[in-house]
């Protein structure tokens, strides 16, 4: 992603990778997206790329089947646009439920996009404003100082649980992706994990093989480590008591 000119570069990974760098030292074609693109997510099932445009509160939807390293037929087309919350800069794609979760920095919400009607080949649902889930306990403070959404969303493909960091209070938040997904948002509710992260949890990722969530903490130079199962067990125990 090229933040300053609102484009995404399309690189042929077959000739620009860890073992073959023959194609790396060249100018690659670009796709025009929105203002200040800052996060990118891929649904491998339908070859759709979702790009968050932080400065115009949108997500660009790119058809990766016609816009990739070897197929250039779709490069000149303007991608479909989704209007989301304030300053989106995180995105997670749940391929199993065909749902796109967009983290909106300044209003501390997650927009839930139905990928079945908003993808590279079917854009019929892209014009609808998706449902937004508040993920913080301080809605009146959202967007003030450090009370913002972090830069990462991690999804466990086994349970479909969606994990995200909230910077202002060092929380890890989880959403049940089975109950909160494209086409069914009646079960959308964010739960704060009792286990706290470190200072300014800016980014996170998930190791599928071990079921571990890693959270980078910007202020104290540490990484918090969570089991994907532990957060929900602790949340359920709190609710029962």
How many domains would you assign to the chain?
1
* Residue 215 belongs to a domain: yes
Identify any residues that bridge with 74 across adjacent strands, giving them in sequence order. Answer: none
With CA atoms as reference, report the closest residue to 35 among 65, 60, 72, 64: 60
pLDDT digits (tens, 9 = 90+) for 144-183: 456 788 889 999 999 999 998 887 777 788 999 999 999 8
> Could you say which residues of the chain have pLDDT below 50?
139-144, 233-241
* Residue 1 belongs to a domain: no
pLDDT digits (tens, 9 = 90+) for 188-210: 998 887 777 888 888 899 999 98
Q: How far is CA 156 from CA 3, 8, 162, 211, in A?
A: 28, 27, 7, 8
Q: Residue 173 phi/psi, 5° resolution? A: -120, 145
Laid out side by side, the sheet with 171-176 consists of 149-155, 161-166, 171-176, 190-192
* Residue 67 belongs to a domain: yes
pLDDT for 231: 54
pLDDT for 69: 85
Q: Tell me the CATH number at 25.
A: 2.130.10.10
Domain holding 149, by residue range, is: 7-240
């Amino acid at each position: 992603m090229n933040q300053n000119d609102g484009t995404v570069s399309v690189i042929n990974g077959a000739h620009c990778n860890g073992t073959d760098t023959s194609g790396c030292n060249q100018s690659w074609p670009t796709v025009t997206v929105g203002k200040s693109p800052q996060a990118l997510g891929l649904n491998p099932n339908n070859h759709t790329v979702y790009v968050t445009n932080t400065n115009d509160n949108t997500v660009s939807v790119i058809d990766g089947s016609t816009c990739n390293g070897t197929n250039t037929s779709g490069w000149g087309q303007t991608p479909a646009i989704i209007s989301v919350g304030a300053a989106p800069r995180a995105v997670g794609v749940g391929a199993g439920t065909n749902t796109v979760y967009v983290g909106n920095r300044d209003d501390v919400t997650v927009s839930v996009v139905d990928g079945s009607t908003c993808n590279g080949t079917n854009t019929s649902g892209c014009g609808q404003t998706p449902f937004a889930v508040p993920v913080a306990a301080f809605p009146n403070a959202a967007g003030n100082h450090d009370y913002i959404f972090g830069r990462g969303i991690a999804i466990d493909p086994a349970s479909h649980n969606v994990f995200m960091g909230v910077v202002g209070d060092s929380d890890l938040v989880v959403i049940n992706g089975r109950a909160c997904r494209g086409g069914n948002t009646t079960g959308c509710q964010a739960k704060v994990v009792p286990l706290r992260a470190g200072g300014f949890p800016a980014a996170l990722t998930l190791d599928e093989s071990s079921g571990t969530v890693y959270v980078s903490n910007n202020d104290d130079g540490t990484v918090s480590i969570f089991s994907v199962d532990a957060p929900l067990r602790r949340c359920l125990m709190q609710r029962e008591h």
